Amino acid sequence: MPKISSFFIKQDPMRRVLYALTPIFLWSTYLYGWRVPLLLAFVVLLASAAEFVFEKSRGKKVTEAVWVTGGLFALSLPPAVPFWVAGVGIFFAVIIGKEVFGGFGRNLYNPAITGRTFVYISFPLMMQTTWMIPGNFAIGGSMNLLVQGSTFPEAVFMTLLAAGLYWWFVRSEGKTGPVIRGSIVVVALTIAFYVTTAYLFPYTKGHANALSDLDAVAMATPLEVYRGLAQAHDWHRTVSLFGMTFPLDANNPLALFLGLRVGSIGEGPIFLIILAGLYLMMTKTANWRPLIWTIVSAIAFTLLFYFSGMMDSRFPVFAAHRSVGGLASLGDLAGFLMSGSLLFAAVFMATDPVSAPKKPLSQALYGIIIGSLTITIRVFAGFPEGVSFAILTANTFAMLLDEILPPKKKEAAAPKVAAKAGGES
């Protein structure tokens, strides 16, 4: 059997994205503990296995971009999400979001966002009740037990199973028969594991009610706090860092900046996301236009909806703070923009070179679509966050934007120069 490394195509830009994600991964491990590295390993192994089978059938190698897809998808999930949900999502992301279009460079939609949106719509309860209280490697923290979240035995078992599946696919060199047999065995073992553990360790109603205070608070994300849900249910919990204590039901801007909030694994540490964005732009790994215009348009629409009072019915706390003005309004605006996955998606998903348009003007308009639609969905739609739907919508129009918008003046003049040169020769 050839070396596993021989199946991958080296891609320096993808490696730089992984470098940018590493500090976020390490900080998230501090916030949520062992679940983060095990979930990341599990997702990346499954993503690599899925892409290997499809690319091997075409006589091609696996791209290192699949590691980026796996990393972004894992960091976009709630920390205690059941591993089987993550497995379904990453298979959908790689197979439906990427490989059915022809593989790397041909997909219309960002694969990580495609997989995340699929599991969010398919398993909404699993995705909205597996938050955790962050900090201290999750030692002494809590998670929502109304729905089974990932446990340590589950995480270890599923990660080893994913490693075994990847090894089997590589060993069989992607041949149809062994791939089908290996997949059937893995699915059977997964079902058997969950059925067995559910029988031996049932999550009874009495158990959930006994921890109702801990369970309920884990559901109060920053955007839900702004909607008044934390105060309505009397969810008062604090998180500490470097001697500072922050209440989770207050959306302190500094706490949000540091990632001390309830949310997806990698969306919280704004300070690291900003550094990652600067690194990617400085190394010319990411194009600045969709990134900057996503953020600028999000700020513009937030200001519009905030000061016009159009978001007061959904976020009643803003009306009270706006009457005070000054720092209260500034804290609302900063906190609202740092809540959810907006900045994480702007840095790592809106800048995806494959699913984004290629012309400068198209890229700017593309970013405006993402930022404005994200805030609009937050304010008027029934979903608590809108960035995934905004990016998929922008992906849909990316090729059309390139088709209808004019190129740079230099690009437009190039064909005329070429034609003139050809005539002279």
Tens-digit pLDDT profile for residues 239-264:
888 888 998 888 999 999 999 999 99
Do residues 104 and 196 both lie within one domain? Answer: yes
Domain of residue 239, residue span? 223-261
Residue 268, strand partner residues: none
Q: Are 99 and 51 in contact (CB under 8 A)?
A: yes
pLDDT value, residue 68: 97
Do residues 82 and 40 both lie within one domain? Answer: yes
- Give residue 150's region: left, alpha or beta (phi > 0; psi -120 to 50): beta
267-309 confidence digits (pLDDT tens): 999 999 999 999 999 999 999 999 999 999 999 999 999 999 9
Which residue type, as a one-letter code, is found at position 45? L
20 inside domain: yes
Domain count, the chain: 3
Do residues 320 and 175 both lie within one domain? Answer: no
Quote the pTM value.
0.91
147 inside domain: yes
397 inside domain: yes
Question: Rounded to an integer, what is the distance from CA 131 to the centroid of its chain?
Answer: 14
Do residues 212 and 227 both lie within one domain? Answer: no
Do residues 343 and 206 both lie within one domain? Answer: no
271 inside domain: no
146-174 confidence digits (pLDDT tens): 445 678 888 999 999 999 999 999 999 88
* 62-63/8-9 β-pairing: parallel
Do residues 156 and 237 both lie within one domain? Answer: no
Do residues 38 and 181 both lie within one domain? Answer: yes
Helix, strand and coil in the chain, % to nearest 5: 65, 5, 30
CA distances from 209 to 204, 206, 234 (A): 9, 5, 16
d(CA 366, CA 356): 7
425 inside domain: no
Count other Cβ atoms within 10 Å, centred on residue 164.
Answer: 16
d(CA 329, CA 137): 33
Which residue type, as a one-letter code, is found at position 134? P
Query: How large is the average pLDDT for residues 65-78?
Result: 97
9 inside domain: yes
CA distances from 422 to 42, 50, 418 (A): 56, 48, 6
Q: Taking 50 as the threshold, does the pLDDT of residue 323 lie above it?
A: yes
d(CA 57, CA 60): 8
